[in-house]
Amino acid sequence: MSENSYNVVFEFNESTGGAYGVRTWTSYSNQEEAEALTKDRPHQTVIAQGVTEAEALNLTSLTPEICRLMCAIEGAFEGDPHASQERVKYSLINAQYAIAHDRLHIAQHSLTRIDARKYLALFLQLVQNPKTPKTASMSGIMMVCYNNFGQVI
């Protein structure tokens, strides 16, 4: 990324189901471009703009682990309500790598995790929906949560 880029950090909102809470960032050439293009992201909330690449990495690494895993399940079933076990497993492995990267980044930069209770509350509601392969997978993920930071074993 260019040093002159304008970085914006986003967080997926509740309307995205399992992707809720996942943070991403995008670099734009300038503030005007960012403002024009971020209007087309109705399912994402801007949580920081005009930040350095290091700050953007810090903010995205604080995505609660439960959010990464639930997003992996959501993605595995996107477009296929009966995703194969292999597809679900592949998505979860990718999420585990992202979590490992986040944990390392958090430790190296002495960051403080965010409280994930609001995300956990929504995910608990999601898994109450009629039992489908997706909600069964999400329920399994919910069983391994062990603290308010949404960290998983």
What pLDDT does residue 146 have? 63
Report the distance separating Cα 53 and Cα 6, nearest Å.
9
Distance, in Å, from the CA atom of 5 to the CA atom of 85, rounded to the nearest integer, reads 40
Q: Quote the longest CA-to-CA distance of the chain.
A: 49
pLDDT tens over the chain, length 153 residues: 456 799 999 999 999 988 999 999 999 999 999 999 988 889 999 999 999 999 999 999 999 999 999 999 999 999 888 888 899 999 999 999 999 999 999 999 999 999 888 898 888 888 887 788 888 888 888 777 666 667 775
Among 129, 148, 138, 127, smallest CA distance to 69 is for 138
H/E element holding 19?
none
Global pTM reads 0.87
